[in-house]
């Protein structure tokens, strides 16, 4: 048995036992490996919705994490940003640091095909950003930015920051990252991205919304230029979202497109797989500047209190608060 973090009721969680081997349909000849966890990352937006019990019943299946145990709403073992060391396995993986889409658990066994070795030079501490980077890659694939595009990113959590950072590296682009929290500007500046708390320009070719708040969607629509595309990367759970589709929405002939990392973009699907997309994400994390996206860390034993605080349920000043947190790293 291993120890894992379980969400047991709305805004309640605890560390309890879990099976060491995650059983799933695999070939009888599949090679299994045992991984000892070094770090996990909290995907704050999605995991807070799970923790608060806000996953809509209609999405119970589509929102399952790859190696989730239990079922929505509770109890459930949920998460997908795990970096560990292979302590038992084939010669190719034994002793290697690997990333997997596994929840918060101190040790586990998976088929080796589900483990992705970290590229040379990538610190394990930074690799917890891989799932967020994969989501950001998929969002940019959906948006298909071009050389010289005027791009706005609304909402600067980890995914929004990564989208802005990558978009700003496309030659000739004018990229502006927006968030109502001025503290986000300090991180954006370190990433070399222009920051604003508000913006008057309505000439953008591409707008990407990642704030997770309906007001952010309204802001994003107002920033769209004629026949622009808005990529909606936020997931709202059960929250009703009023979309302001009056005013200039029709006269500008705007397009709103959803982006969800569970699916590959149709244009990429013939040549890419989920694994090769994740390998790309890990390689893109080689830049040391991305360490600024990790705003704190806590030991595994404190994870129940940390999740409670990130969901806005704690007044303990020693714990991380949602408004101050990008990626919070858990240390094993």
Tokens of 20: 């060491």
Please choose, from the candidates 311, 310, 315, the residue with its C-alpha nearest in 3D space to the C-alpha of residue 296. Answer: 310
- What range defines the domain where residue 295 resides? 2-126+285-331
Question: What does the pLDDT look like over 92-138, one tens digit per residue?
Answer: 999 999 999 999 999 999 999 999 999 999 999 999 999 999 999 99
Length of the chain: 332
89 falls within a domain = yes
51 falls within a domain = yes
Do 188 and 298 lie in one domain? The reply is: no
Is residue 216 within 8 Å of residue 155, measured between CB atoms? yes
In this structure, what CATH number is given to the domain that contains residue 15?
Answer: 3.90.180.10
Average pLDDT over residues 146-172: 98
Q: What's the confidence (pLDDT) of residue 29?
A: 84
279 falls within a domain = no
Question: What does the pLDDT look like over 6-51, one tens digit per residue?
Answer: 999 999 999 999 999 987 767 778 899 999 999 999 999 999 999 9
Do 103 and 139 lie in one domain? The reply is: no
Q: What CA–CA distance (Å, rounded) separates 232 from 220?
A: 9
Do 137 and 115 lie in one domain? The reply is: no
| pTM, to two decimals | 0.96
Do 88 and 119 lie in one domain? The reply is: yes
Residue with tokens 């590296």: 169
H or E segment to which residue 4 belongs: strand 2-9
SS3 label, residue 196: strand
Residue 262 has pLDDT above 80, yes or no: yes
Do 77 and 19 lie in one domain? The reply is: yes
Do 144 and 249 lie in one domain? The reply is: yes
Do 210 and 136 lie in one domain? The reply is: yes
Do 114 and 141 lie in one domain? The reply is: no
- Which string of b and e fits 175-211 if b means at least 16 CB within 10 Å? bbbbbeeeebbebbeebebebeeebeebebbbbbbbb
Do 254 and 136 lie in one domain? The reply is: yes
CA 300 to the chain's CA centroid: 20
Do 30 and 83 lie in one domain? The reply is: yes
What is the count of structural domains for the chain?
2
């Amino acid at each position: 048995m291993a120890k894992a973090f379980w969400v047991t009721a709305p805004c309640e969680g605890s560390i309890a036992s879990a099976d060491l081997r995650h059983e799933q349909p695999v070939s009888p000849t599949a090679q299994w490996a045992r991984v000892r966890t070094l770090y996990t990352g909290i995907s704050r937006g999605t995991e807070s919705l799970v923790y608060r019990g806000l996953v809509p019943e209609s999405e119970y299946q589509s929102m399952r994490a790859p190696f989730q145990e239990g079922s929505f709403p509770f109890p459930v073992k949920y998460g997908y940003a795990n970096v560990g060391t292979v302590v038992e396995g084939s010669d190719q993986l034994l002793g290697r640091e690997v990333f997997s889409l596994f929840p918060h658990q101190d040790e586990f066994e998976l088929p080796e095909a589900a483990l992705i070795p970290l590229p040379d030079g990538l610190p394990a501490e930074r690799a917890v950003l891989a799932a967020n980077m994969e989501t950001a890659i998929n969002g940019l694939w959906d948006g298909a930015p071009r050389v010289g595009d005027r791009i706005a990113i609304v909402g600067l959590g980890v995914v929004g920051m990564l989208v802005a950072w990558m978009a700003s590296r496309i030659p000739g682009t004018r990229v502006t990252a927006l968030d109502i929290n001025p503290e986000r500007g300090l991180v954006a500046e370190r990433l070399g991205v222009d920051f604003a708390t508000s913006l008057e320009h309505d000439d953008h070719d591409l707008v990407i919304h990642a704030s997770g708040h309906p007001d952010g969607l309204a802001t994003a629509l107002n920033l769209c230029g004629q026949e622009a595309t808005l990529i909606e990367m936020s997931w709202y759970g059960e929250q009703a979202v009023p979309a302001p589709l009056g005013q200039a929405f029709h006269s500008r002939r705007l397009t709103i497109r959803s982006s969800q990392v569970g699916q590959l973009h149709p244009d990429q699907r013939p040549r890419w797989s989920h694994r090769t997309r994740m390998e790309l994400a890990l390689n893109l994390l080689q830049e040391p500047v991305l360490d600024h996206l990790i705003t704190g860390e806590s030991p595994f034993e404190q994870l129940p209190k940390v999740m409670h605080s990130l969901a806005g349920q704690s007044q303990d000043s020693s714990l991380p608060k949602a408004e101050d947190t990008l990626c919070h790293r858990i240390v094993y």
